Structure 1
Amino acid sequence: MVLDPRLNHPALVERARHVRLLALDVDGVMTDGQLYFQADGQETKAFSTQDGQGIKLLRQAGVEVALITGRDSPMVTRRAAALGIEHVFQGSDAKLDLLRRLIQRLGLEMHQVAYCGDDLPDLAPIKRAGLGISVPNAPRYIREHAVWVTERAGGHGAVREICDGLLELQGHWASVLDTYLHGQA
């Protein structure tokens, strides 16, 4: 069974099989990229609950998840904690350096990383990760460097699409469905 026929591309299939870490930008990938400010100056963000479920399923399948974002936000800290994401890096555009340090600490290699981003600070990680991913709301010059551009936009299910695709391509999807079909979740 194939969820998405676009997942049949040989380069995508081969690269996805090796992924042991999914690293995500936040603004524009996990959110719609808009910044919302209340009258008191408090910043708010909207996250997709479907993305959160996908992250939980991917983690249960043994794939680590990391957030690497240039902005520093307490909402990112809270969302990561709610999803059990331990690897959270905020407030730096040196994303490739952060990613390299993380994979060294985890004992992984770059070909075992999927990275999804949507803007210039994400370009180097997209190019160097084993599976570079972007979203349709990213500028063309970012998307053209990705192996996979999601169908869904950032903040609107793009992360869930990635998680479901990785689960399928790594052979976990039937087990996920079986668990939920038989009420064992």
Structure 2
Amino acid sequence: MRELEHIRRAAAVKVMIFDVDGVLTDGTLTYGPDGEATKVFYVLDGLGIQLLNKTGVKTAIISARQSPIVVKRAADLGISHVYQGIHDKRVAFKSLLEETGVTADQCGYIGDDVIDLPLLLQVGFAVTVPTGHSEVQHRAHYVTRANGGRGAVREVCDMVMRAQGTYEQALAPYFA
């Protein structure tokens, strides 16, 4: 029954929103000699986002931390809505809803810590990763099998496309 519930929720997603640290990355923060933070992204996750974009699902990033690397990665992947340095993620979420014209029920969000709870409790499809905080796991509609920064995002993108019946179409160019 629970599996059917998260598939139903994934089918309704029109905007998929991603946290960065612990979701698009494994959550490790590495600092260079000048104090700049570096991030490592997983290519399978990136292609999943690009494929999801091609099916018409909009994608967004909402992160409490600020990083020029995130802006670069978002541009590379075609993520057009990027909100960074916002600790009250509800503020960014409200702006995103206004910009896209969707309702909270039509959004999915994947986050991993208690700072993500205000959004996870509002969206129609709330997702976390296996390394996410226990309070987040308890309230999420779905916990991925893969870890953040190691395929969790791809798992969710594939799930949304399958639930919406667009998965085969999205992959078709690779089988030609």
Partner of 2:113: 119
Partner of 2:65: 71
Deviation string, structure 1 residues 83-135 (Cα, Å, up to 9, x no partner) = 11110000011112211221122110111000000011100111110000000
SS at match of 1:9: helix
Residue pairs, 1:28-177, within 5 angstroms: 28-177=22-171
SS at match of 2:87: coil
Tell me the CA shift for residue 177 of structure 1: 3.2
SS at match of 2:24: coil
**Aligned amino acid, residue 181 of structure 1:** F
- Structure 2: how far apart are the matches of 1:159 and 1:92? 21
Tell me the CA shift for residue 34 of structure 1: 0.8
Tell me the CA shift for residue 42 of structure 1: 2.1
Partner of 1:3: none
Tell me the CA shift for residue 160 of structure 1: 0.5
**Aligned amino acid, residue 175 of structure 1:** Q
Asked if the contact 2:23–2:111 (Cα under 8 Å) also holds between the matched residues in 1, the reply is yes
SS at match of 2:121: helix
SS at match of 1:144: helix
Q: TM-score, normalised by structure 2?
A: 0.96
**Structure 1 residues without counterparts, runs of 5 or longer:** 1-5
Moved more, 25-34 or 172-181: 172-181
CA RMSD of aligned residues (A): 1.3
**Aligned amino acid, residue 109 of structure 1:** T
Sequence identity (%): 40
- Structure 2: how far apart are the matches of 1:170 and 1:100? 25
**Structure 2 residues without counterparts, runs of 5 or longer:** none
Would you identify which runs of 4 or more consecutive aligned residues in structure 1 move more than 6 Å?
Answer: none
**Aligned amino acid, residue 79 of structure 1:** R
Moved more, 48-57 or 98-107: 98-107
